Amino acid sequence: MTKLALITGASRGLGAALAEALAETHHVVAVARTVGGLEELDDRIQAQGGAATLAPLDVTDAGAMATLCRSIHDRWGTLDVWCHAAVHAAPLSPANHIDAKDMAKSVATNVTATSVLIPYIAPLLGDTGTAVFFEDAGATGKFFGAYGATKAAQVALARSWQAETEKTGPRVLVLTPPPMPTATRARFFPGEDRGPLTSERDAAAEIIGTL
């Protein structure tokens, strides 16, 4: 039976690297808003002999995500791995100048969508699947209010689910990847020397080693 991996936030960065790496052993369902990024990912997966199903969706669209999960159930029945890499990284801002629209989008993407996706995806994972969430150790301190607060809330949801399913499954992992040269990090740390950073490919390989 073909193993199945769902990657939310798959068009670039760590999500794309995870999709490529998992495609060596899984059929990958790749979710992201950026169609071009998904198509480029699909080309790379096909070039290495893998296969993917592209789902150009916004994780904040609860109806679309419900339809996707139903389609996964109808086509494959179960899901082996879910990696949740989708995130909205609001611009850095002093706490007393956070833009209301940026905060609302951060809450919708990082918190509300996660709270919706967990009950949608949990039945697909059953008691043997694995869900993976990512903590961002750098999302603290001054100017990180919107991103840091909502990312922390996302992780709190994941850790709660992790504790609740420890004896029953699915397995829930909350991992802290090393700093990587992603586009998001470049916005947060412009001018940073990216040489010492861990590549997304190497970080993905380390993460997959824990699955």
Half-sphere exposure of 81 (CA within 13 A, CB side): 27
* pLDDT score of 1 more than 80: no
Please tell me the number of Cα atoms within 13 Å of 157 on its side-chain side: 21
pLDDT over 90 (residue 138):
no
Q: What is the mean pLDDT of residues 15-25?
A: 97
pLDDT computed for residue 142 by the predictor? 94
Q: Which two tokens stand for residue 159?
A: 């850790």
| Percent of the chain clearing pLDDT 70 (strictly above) | 100
Which pLDDT does position 161 carry in this prediction? 98
Dist. CA 101–CA 107, nearest whole Å: 10
For residue 113, pLDDT beyond 80 = yes
Q: How confident is the model at residue 140 (pLDDT cuts 50, 70, 90)?
A: confident
State the pLDDT at residue 187.
Answer: 87
Instruction: Check pLDDT > 90 for residue 137.
Output: no
Q: Tell me: the pLDDT tens digits for 30-77?
A: 999 999 999 999 999 999 999 999 999 999 999 999 999 999 999 999
In this prediction, residues 144-172 reach a mean pLDDT of 97
**Rounded Cα gap, residues 161 and 167, in angstroms:** 11
Q: What distance lies between CA 48 and its chain's CA centroid? A: 22
pLDDT in the model for residue 45: 98
What mean pLDDT value characterizes the chain?
Answer: 96
Predicted confidence (pLDDT) per residue in 187-205, tens digit: 899 999 999 999 999 999 9
CA 110 – CA 59 distance, rounded (Å): 9
Q: What span, in angstroms and rounded, lies between the C-alpha atoms of 154 and 152? A: 5
Domains of the chain: 4-208 (3.40.50.720)
Please check the confidence at residue 29 and state whether its pLDDT lies above 80: yes
In angstroms, rounded to a whole number, what is the distance separating the alpha carbons of residues 98 and 168? 41
pTM (2 d.p.) = 0.95
CA distances from 151 to 10, 38, 75, 83 (A): 18, 24, 32, 15
- For residues 194 and 57, what is the distance between their CA atoms, to the nearest angstrom? 31
Query: What pLDDT was estimated at residue 141?
Result: 87
